[in-house]
Amino acid sequence: MKKRALGPQGLTVSAEGLGCMGMSAFYGAFDDAESTATLQRALDLGVTFLDTADAYGPHTNERLVGRVLADRRDEVVLATKFGNELDHEGTRTGQVNGRPEYVRKSVDGSLQRLGLDVIDLYYQHRVDPDTPVEETFGVLGELVAEGKVRYLGISEASPDTIRRAHSTSPLTAVQTEYSLFTRDVEDDGVLAAVRELGIGFVPYSPLGRGFLSGKIRSIDDFESDDFRRSSPRFQGENFARNLEVLDRVVAIAESKGVTPSQLALAWVLAQGEDVVPIPGTRRTANLEENVAAVDIELTADELAAIEEAAPAGAAAGERYAPQGMRTLNH
Ligand SMILES: NC(=O)c1ccc[n+]([C@@H]2O[C@H](COP(=O)([O-])OP(=O)(O)OC[C@H]3O[C@@H](n4cnc5c(N)ncnc54)[C@H](OP(=O)(O)O)[C@@H]3O)[C@@H](O)[C@H]2O)c1
């Protein structure tokens, strides 16, 4: 497995990570035994960058990953997140909390559930509009000094917030949605800011939440409790327009002899050596398909054809319903 440097402090990770969220939340039924096998296979293949969060489950995804880490801790760069507020019973409140006392409580909970002494990469999952980011990253800097956390990150933050966080306690990674289906970071200043500051960039949902696999053709392909049913991208006219974009991408994949998922991942990987996507899957077969994308090179002509097929802004519909859009930091 190829490796990539993430951020300016010397952290190195596999060029593709594994997103673990769907193993415990949001995308319909899951099976811990199947997810455990997928996690083990990922490590066998050299995928060493695992992405979880306290809010996935909540809590159950960290416990699942922790069980795998119990025997293989040294192979893994483990990333988790805090900030989508959980109450004392572990239920999501719908608020975002970046207050220092909440950060301290969260890190101790994650360490305990993961069974770790130190978290490799700790992200603020969403920016708290009511707590200055300097306060949040002040306490995060203390946690690094205390040895509870190695590296710091932030998710879905504006360029200004990224700069303020980074100047308080240096960032290693910024995580934001980025795929052929969601290209906002190219022109909202986020990619420009991380590049100027030397921070690594971790695209989440690099398969467009599974859409770019070409396997999702109707809202009925989602189970009744699947979060994607509420996404504007998968509603009515938006869905129909997005399928037109998708079909052009699928045609390019077919002509290259790769799967649509592989083409989508190869495209993200081609955006720069500072980019480390974290596709999510519960299934070993999909994992193996996705991992093979690391070795797929796209020529300049192929990149131009993809650009023409799926230019920035081609996707119809917001990427979250209004409640989710409100938690994004602009
Ligand atoms: N920071 C944030 O706010 C945030 C938000 C969302 C996600 N994330 C992180 O990013 C990770 C990845 O994002 P994501 O899971 O939302 O979206 P994604 O990686 O774009 O897509 C995942 C979906 O694609 C399917 N899939 C994966 N590989 C496939 C393949 N080869 N063929 C067909 N289907 C395939 C998966 O289903 P199967 O499981 O059935 O394979 C799953 O439904 C998450 O796991 C999470 O760790 C972070």
112: domain CATH number? 3.20.20.100
Which pLDDT belongs to residue 312? 95
Residue 18 identity (one-letter amino acid):
L
What pLDDT does residue 87 have?
94
Token readout for 109 is 């909970």
Task: Tell me the C-alpha distance between 187 and 203, whole Å.
Answer: 15
Domain membership of residue 306 (yes or no) is: no
Do the strands 149-155 and 77-82 form a parallel or antiparallel pair, or are they unpaired? unpaired
SS3 content of the chain, % helix, strand, coil (to 5): 45, 15, 40
Average pLDDT value for the chain: 97
Mean pLDDT confidence for 236-259 = 97
Q: Is residue 313 part of a domain?
A: no
Query: Which atom of ligand 1 is closest in space to residue 155's alpha carbon?
Result: 1
Q: Residue 330 — pLDDT band, cuts 50, 70, 90?
A: confident
Q: What's the pLDDT at 194? A: 98
Look at residue 190 and tell me if it is in a domain. yes
* pLDDT tens by residue, 207-224: 999 999 999 999 999 999
304 falls within a domain: no
Task: Identify whether 100 is preceded by a cis peptide bond (ω within 30 of 0).
Answer: no
Domain membership of residue 119 as a residue range: 3-208+268-296
Predicted pLDDT at 223? 94
Residue 59 within any structural domain of the chain: yes
Could you tell me the distance, in angstroms and rounded to a whole number, from the CA of residue 211 to the centre of ligand 1?
Answer: 10
Please work out whether the CB of residue 11 comes within 6 Å of at least one atom of ligand 1. Answer: no
pTM of the model: 0.97
Pocket test for ligand 1, best of 13, 21, 284 (most atoms within 8 A of CB): 21
Domain count, the chain: 1
Q: Where are the beta strands (DSSP E) in the chain?
A: 3-6, 11-14, 18-19, 49-51, 77-82, 84-86, 92-96, 119-124, 149-155, 173-177, 200-204
Asked about 56 being catalytic, the answer comes back as: yes
Residue nearest to atom 47 of ligand 1 (CA): 19
Per-residue pLDDT, averaged over 239-263, amounts to: 97
Q: Which of 142-146, 284-288, 318-322 has the lowest mean pLDDT?
A: 318-322
